[in-house]
Structure 1
Amino acid sequence: MPFNTALSGIRAASSDLKVTGNNIANASTSGFKRSRAEFGDVYAISVLGSGSNAIGSGVRLQDVAQNFNQGSMAFTENSLDLAVNGNGFFVVQQGGEQFYTRAGTFGLDKDGYIVNNVDARLQGFPADGSGNISGLQGDIQVRTSNLAPRATTEVNMLLNLDASEPVLQTTGTAFSTDGNAVGVTQAGLSDDTVTTIEGTSFTFPITNDFSSTPMTFDVELTASTGNNGTASVNLTTASGTPATITNFNELRTLAGVINAQLSQPTPPQSSIDVLAEAVDLGGGSYRLDFVAAISGEASQVRVSNGSANTIEIGMAPSPAISTSVAGIAAVDNGYPRQAIDVTDDEGNTITYTAEKGATAAETASELNSLTGVTASASSTLTIPFSGFTNSNGNMTVTVNGVPLGADNLSSLESNINLLSRTTLPGISALVDPDTGDLTISSSVGDNLQISIDSLDDGDSVEVLGNPNAPGAILEVDDDGVLNNPSALPSDANSVVVGGSIDIVLDEGYSVANAVPPSVGLFGPLTSQAFSDVVLNDFDPADQDTYNWETQLTIFDSLGNSHVVTQYYVRQEYDVADPATAPNHWQMFVRIDGEDVGDPDTSLPPPENTLPTRAGYDVYFNDDGSLNRLLTEDILISNWTPKDVNGEPNGAMGPTNVLNGGSTLIPDPPTSSNFVINLEGTTQFSSDFSVNDVDQSGFTTGRLSGLNIGDDGVIFARFTNGESQVLGQVALADFANMEGLQPAGDTMWAENYESGAPNIGGPQSGALGAIQSGALEESNVDLSEELVNLIIAQRNFQASAKTIETADAVTQTIINLR
């Protein structure tokens, strides 16, 4: 009967409508693949087969085939929207089952896993903490927590050091003053005395009438300096002398008249450096003295040829001669006037003269004004514990004119140090904890002068200077008998110790010919007195001592940043000196302005624990490439991370080489050690340049975005500028993708007809590439599907018409009578 045939047609048309309607419904579904209804005719077949005139029994639905042709790309702003450009399916897991999809609408769930819209987790190959992608399939998770900091363990630098740079270091000559007066303890008067004639005392009034009876005498000065000679004095009222001398003011006027004539005598006489002084002795007694104007000089003053009335002002008349007591200079450092010859690098010689008694500080300052000469001075004295007596705590010790309380040497130490920046500039004191001795020093080489005063007889201080010379003792003497016969009475005396000078001569400069040869500051200038010294040695505070510097930022284990400064210093090459080499540089490293070299254990404590200057030899070949054989490994192994106050900040500290530190730094690191790699650095004749810098550390970072490459590798970007590999998206391919079983939600499941999946990374084998920030659109052609609707509708109508016609025929047959 044709009814069954027609019904099969209606069923087929209905299936066709469903397939086409489903395609149309999913025309905007990402990753959707359109289906096609495939039909076959139906024939009744007996055991012996069908006849040649067999009539078909209708149609049946053979298959709903899917078309896996790629859809168009729609680009989005979401980096987790993914599309496969080429073959392959995303692999997802849901509820323990594995599905495959072309729909890449992915996002993050609350745990950071990449999931699609139905919470199926995207599968891939996760990476370890170092970014190494494993070969094991698993869920891909994005860690949204802070990225833990990583301590710097390696610094890679690609530089060019200018081959035309000059060598800044030179070799000069150094010597120290070693004359036999250097540092020798000098004892003597605290203050100068002046050459003086003391007249005999008298009282007022003076009976002489100067208006009628002049007074005359001669004053003579014999001295090594100043104005010498004889000046005649004539005292009359015409010269300004009061007629009578009845009081002290009139006596002072008389002295003024005398002084006027001594300074401007009658020619041909010339002025002399002598002054008349009126002295009030108290009790109605007075005196007229004649004093040399220049103090501390062993000069001689004489008054002679006095008229008879000179006895009234305390001077004997002629033929008697009044003779002075010679002046005495205050104690000084004992250095005589001494000269040396300085010859420059062109053979020109100048003579420098250090004046008598000049301090080492003054002489060093003058030497520094000479071209090619650098001088620094210092002075030191010692007060031994056994040489300090202060019986009742009443003694005052005066240091360079500043009186200080000194119950004991420790209190004297404290009082000196409190004034080292004010009234005792540059002077410091230190008590030796073992011996109790007090050392007083001047960092600039000023004389050190000590004097004492006390209420108690016998209080004393011993002062030692040069250890090869005897010291001096000051003692308070109230009874006229010194307890120590070798001591000096303290009331008028003090002790002075002069300083020494360290002198450096520039390359090509020399000194010679000390005159006198050894007595004083400069000792004999023999070859043994000089030593070679490196000049313009590297000093990070002096830009003239290094050719170039560069800086970079590194991180400690807590993520704190620190500044590494590298200094490059070209080294001298002398073909005659086998200890030098061509194309040789030194690189010095400091961190946060501090040295980071391993301690020098040969030094005494505490210096043997302190960081030293970190310097490394860098050599280049004659073609400008880095000489890897001679260039030493650059390991920073004594860096203690510190805070802004210069205190350790709690991050991992160093492991010195002596304690096992090496260039093989473990991962994760166990110390602050790191290496600097200069691989690829060159020495060409072009400007210094930093071509590339990279270091392995970073501070704490927050997730700021994701990048997914064509190969499916997922990079997480963090606010600290770092990126980290999280894993790689996996793709699956099938031998017969049309055999996949639709599972809904634009996903398919593996079945027997599809075959087992081939899972791998994008762009491997026949697998396509990943397009991030894009979605694959449905591959439904809407125009084609609408036409298919019309065809399916007509097929349905035609099959229905067949039923209608068959019904009419059947009715006709039934109506036959």
Structure 2
Amino acid sequence: MAFNTGLSGLRAAAVDLDVTGNNIANASTVGFKSSRVQFGDLYANGFLSGGSNPVGDGVNVQGIKQSFGQGNISFTDNGLDMAIEGDGFFVLNNGGETRYSRAGQFTIDKDGFVVNNQSMRVQGFTADGDGNLSGIRGDLEIATDNLAPRRTTNLRSDLNLDSRESVLESRVRDVGPLAFGDVNGEQFEMTYTDGTPAYSVDLSGLTTARQIADKLTTAPGLSASATTTANLGLSDADVAAAGFSFELRVNGAPLQLDTSNVSSLEELKAAINDSSDTAISAAIVDDGTGNNVLRVSHNQGENLDITYNDGSGGASNTVSETGDINVTGDRTIAGVTATGGSGNNFVTEYGQSPIRITNEFNPQDQRTYNHATSTSIFDSLGNSHELTQFFVKEPSPGNGVGVSEWSVYLQIDGEMVAGTDATPYTARFDQDGTLQSINGDASGEIVITDWVPKDKNGQPNGSDGPPAAGATVVTPIPDPPTTSAFVLSLGETTQYGATFGVDDQRQNGYTTGRLSGLDVSSEGILFARYTNGQSKSLGQVALASFSNTDGLSAVGDTSWVETFESGQPVIGKPDTGTLGGIKASSVEESNVDLSGELVNLIIAQRNYQANAKTIETSDAVTQTIINLR
């Protein structure tokens, strides 16, 4: 009996050594779960009794049990590596056979499927083309084709327009042209509404229109210019006549002209334009009756005296001009009154002159708008275009109490859209700075229906254009869009006494993109990142749990298969129910306690030696009996 008892001990110790050695060998295997041997003693017994021999028959290996405790998690440089924090197994497709593993070292094969080192495909919940996850389980696949572009159908701008801004509109009075003789010698006084002291102007003793213009320009709020123009009734025949002569004097001083070889009005015009005085110019114009005349001008308003002989043998003709004055006055001027002399001409003309807006909106002139902001939008081909919004503060309607108005202009790639080249949109705000409406629409939406996407040369680029004339455009733009129409939403725009700022500006379009990277969330969702800044869900890793994890059967490659004892798997999404979460760019290390295993190795060795000693002793006893004589 002692031989059998010792032999069973040797067998058990050998198994213990094997299991311990296997644990030590896999101390660095990702996802490996350590095992331990379970022993049981042996006793002989009868069918109806416990037997009469209380001495044991040795030891039996009852089973080898794996420990599914959590291993340490370490980070890696592979974005597809995953570790499970908590309960659960990855579900793997091994050519039709379903396996379960805790080893999350994954990569992508040539067909785009997520696989482990043994080319088993990782199972998960698939996503549709728009990145919406489904409940359908299948092999996770990474699409490597380009992300199709999406046209802009909605742009939301949350802005604050500074209520402290002043109205930029400038109103001026244009006075003139005033003839030199009508204003020469006048005296008048100007008064102002902005506190500027009254100013007197004396036009006495002046001899040219230029002097009068310079005198008027010295007055605050006035700007004046002078021009002297003389029309000469000459024909080509007059100039070509043998006795033709021509003399031009500026303020009495002769101007050097070479007219010796001129034979037509064109040649005479050229001779005047070639003179040394750049303020003198000549042109052939229609006098309004269908006849061409030679117009000689001095653009600074000096006196002109022109004497010419048309060759007919008669007396010379002399034309004298003293010039005209044009005056512009801004709206700060309260009034003009005569204080001496006649003064009636300028005073009368100023009072009757129309008011003209001088700084009408011009996107090229920053002085004609208060605020502007730009953002990129995209056409159906994914081409980027720049949309600029301009905001111009307008005079408050009515008495200006409790309401403010701003004009909104829109421009895409330098071209005005939404009809704002002719009529801007009107944004109205209440006394609290809240947007009331845009053109009476309380939603604050502007629908752009006239945009034609163009290339850099200003030609249509082949993408979808505006809707057909008369077509109804509803908001929001339904999917799939078929035109370039889009909605600009300004519903969250405010008008507070704070600096202009863009709080939020987002649009739903983007250009085409190439796959640039992958991210995995704690829920096991695979996100594809593209070069256009977009991301899309490609699928979600599936995890499985079992009622009896110890019932799983290890089949190598750090994987297990379902058995009758394990029960059927419960498959779900990570971080739901009892399933653990996913740690991206990480792996779960082996849960082998190497120091403990080395101690177990010593114990197993001692057990083996002790059982061998049992056999050795039994052999010595037996030999003693045999040697009895």
Tell me which interval the TM-score lies in, with the shorter structure as reference length.
0.7 to 0.9
CA offsets 1:527-576 (integer angstroms, 9 cap, x no match):
9x877765533211221111111222233232322222221212221443
Aligned partner of 2:540 in structure 1 is 728
Aligned residue type for 2:459: E
Kept in 1, the 8 Å contact 2:201–2:215? The answer is no
Aligned partner of 1:20 in structure 2 is 20
Alpha-carbon spacing, 1:542–1:473, altered in 2? closer, same or farther (3 Å): closer
Aligned residue type for 1:106: F
Kept in 1, the 8 Å contact 2:44–2:51? The answer is no
Distance 2:125 2:202 in 1: 85
Aligned residue type for 2:285: Q
| 1:589 corresponds to 2:401 | no
Which one of 407, 415, 425 corresponds to residue 616 of structure 1? 425
Distance 1:89 1:502 in 2: 91
Q: Give the Å deviation of 1:18.
A: 1.8
Aligned partner of 2:127 in structure 1 is 127
SS in 1 for 2:605: helix
Aligned partner of 2:296 in structure 1 is none
| 1:750 corresponds to 2:562 | yes
Q: Give the Å deviation of 1:693.
A: 3.0
Q: Give the Å deviation of 1:746.
A: 0.9
Q: Give the Å deviation of 1:777.
A: 1.0
SS in 2 for 1:686: coil
SS in 2 for 1:796: helix
Q: Give the Å deviation of 1:9.
A: 2.5
Q: Percent identity?
A: 48
Kept in 1, the 8 Å contact 2:405–2:426? The answer is yes
Question: Between Structure 1 and Structure 2, whose CA radius of gyration is higher?
Answer: 1
TM-score, normalising length from structure 1?
Answer: 0.57
Aligned partner of 2:391 in structure 1 is 568
Aligned partner of 1:712 in structure 2 is 524
Distance 1:376 1:650 in 2: 53
Aligned CA RMSD, in angstroms, stands at 4.7
SS in 1 for 2:487: strand
Alpha-carbon spacing, 1:472–1:544, altered in 2? closer, same or farther (3 Å): closer
Aligned partner of 2:316 in structure 1 is none
Aligned partner of 1:57 in structure 2 is 57
Distance 2:449 2:408 in 1: 15
Distance 1:691 1:348 in 2: 48
Alpha-carbon spacing, 1:68–1:542, altered in 2? closer, same or farther (3 Å): same
| 1:114 corresponds to 2:114 | yes
Aligned partner of 1:604 in structure 2 is none
Which one of 447, 459, 462 corresponds to residue 650 of structure 1? 462
| 1:796 corresponds to 2:608 | yes
Greater relative CO (CA pairs within 8 A, separation 6+): 2
Kept in 1, the 8 Å contact 2:444–2:489? The answer is no
| 1:548 corresponds to 2:360 | no
Q: How many matched pairs? A: 541
Alpha-carbon spacing, 1:574–1:676, altered in 2? closer, same or farther (3 Å): closer
Distance 1:29 1:639 in 2: 62
Alpha-carbon spacing, 1:642–1:107, altered in 2? closer, same or farther (3 Å): same
Alpha-carbon spacing, 1:814–1:648, altered in 2? closer, same or farther (3 Å): same
Aligned partner of 2:43 in structure 1 is 43
Distance 2:553 2:226 in 1: 94
Aligned residue type for 1:685: G
Q: Give the Å deviation of 1:815.
A: 6.1
Distance 2:350 2:403 in 1: 34
State how 1:304-703 maps to structure 2 within 5 Å. Answer: 346=193, 371=221, 401-402=265-266, 449-450=285-286, 465=288, 471=289, 506-507=330-331, 536-576=359-399, 582-598=403-419, 612=421, 615-627=424-436, 630=442, 632-655=444-467, 658-678=470-490, 680-703=492-515
CA offsets 1:266-294 (integer angstroms, 9 cap, x no match):
xxxxxxxxxxxxxxxxxxxxxxxxxxxxx
Aligned residue type for 2:366: Q
Distance 1:85 1:374 in 2: 84
Q: Give the Å deviation of 1:117.
A: 0.4
State how 1:185-196 maps to structure 2 within 5 Å. Answer: none
Alpha-carbon spacing, 1:29–1:589, altered in 2? closer, same or farther (3 Å): same
Q: Give the Å deviation of 1:98.
A: 2.3
Distance 1:563 1:506 in 2: 36
Distance 2:31 2:161 in 1: 57
CA offsets 1:32-84 (integer angstroms, 9 cap, x no match):
11011112223334331314754433322222111111111222222222212
Aligned partner of 2:73 in structure 1 is 73
Kept in 2, the 8 Å contact 1:573–1:581? The answer is no
Q: Give the Å deviation of 1:29.
A: 0.2
Aligned residue type for 2:39: F
Q: Give the Å deviation of 1:26.
A: 0.5
Q: Give the Å deviation of 1:170.
A: 5.1
Alpha-carbon spacing, 1:142–1:8, altered in 2? closer, same or farther (3 Å): same
Distance 1:541 1:364 in 2: 31
Kept in 2, the 8 Å contact 1:597–1:613? The answer is no
Q: Give the Å deviation of 1:139.
A: 2.4
TM-score, normalising length from structure 2?
Answer: 0.72
